[in-house]
Structure 1
Amino acid sequence: LNSSFVEGAQMWFEQTGCNYNMVLDPQRTVYRSFGLGSSYAQVMKFGCLLQYGEYGAVDRDFPDVPPRLLEDIYQMGGDFLLDDAGKVLLCHPCKTPFDRPTVNDILQAAERAKL
């Protein structure tokens, strides 16, 4: 496993205080299987750039990531909820960097899985 992936993951854990398990996917096999990719056009849209610009006005910092660890700044994310067996309960590939499902959407998907 590429040491930059491990270093980047460790840095993320330190900066966020998160204690969840993490799976590293350097070849982005799982990432692509969920239909995710990169989009210069979506990341560089005026609305996204405006929102990034507002971070300074509200004293919100970007994650502190050394440039050597940045591989694909145009990578689009997504939110996925899986059950213990790996069945996908919620699939939300982001249309923009700020596109996320609501908490209610996630909770409803989890509730539907109980039925």
Structure 2
Amino acid sequence: MRDQETELDRLNIKVVVVTFENDYFARQYVTETGLEWPVLIDEKREAYRHYDMLEASFLDLWGPSSWLVYGKELLKGQKLHKPTNDVHQRGGDLLIDPEGIVRLHHVGSGPADRPAVGEILARVRRA
């Protein structure tokens, strides 16, 4: 997504990261990754419940697609970090327009399941 930052700006897309981690771990993540987007902390997971991002199964978390993603990260020289909280919490991606209309609602089946940035940009262009 960072590779497309110029296009995100051109389309007036604002990225916000939401996490259920506490402030300490959220700040640590921002420092380690160099993340420059705003981070919102939702320790009570209200947004997760509102958008049906509930618990993932064992196979969702540890299936072949997850191993493939982790392997690619290792090959790029990335460090894998020990989870600090609930590994079963699903993630997802939302695209909400300025009027509050949800244009994309993707609930990840596991850590490897994310829509392509191109798909997100295409939805914005069509809106």
- Tell me the TM-score normalized by structure 1: 0.75
* Match in the other structure for 1:15: 32
Question: Identity across aligned pairs (percent)?
Answer: 29
Distance 2:69 2:37 in 1: 28
Q: Out of 35, 41, 57, which is 1:24 matched to?
A: 41
Question: What is the root-mean-square deviation of aligned Cα atoms in Å?
Answer: 2.2
Give unpaired runs (5+ residues) of structure 2: 1-20
Distance 1:104 1:53 in 2: 23
Q: After superposition, where does 1:25-104 map in structure 2 within 5 Å? A: 25-39=42-56, 40-49=58-67, 51-52=69-70, 55-56=73-74, 59-63=77-81, 70-104=84-118
- Per-residue CA deviation, residues 64-106 of structure 1 (Å, 9 max, x unaligned), is x5x6xx2211222111111233321111111232111112210
Distance 1:50 1:14 in 2: 25
Pick closer, same or farther for the CA change 1:59–1:45 going to 2, 3 Å. Answer: same
Q: 1:56 deviation in Å?
A: 4.3
Distance 1:87 1:46 in 2: 34
Q: 1:25 deviation in Å?
A: 0.7
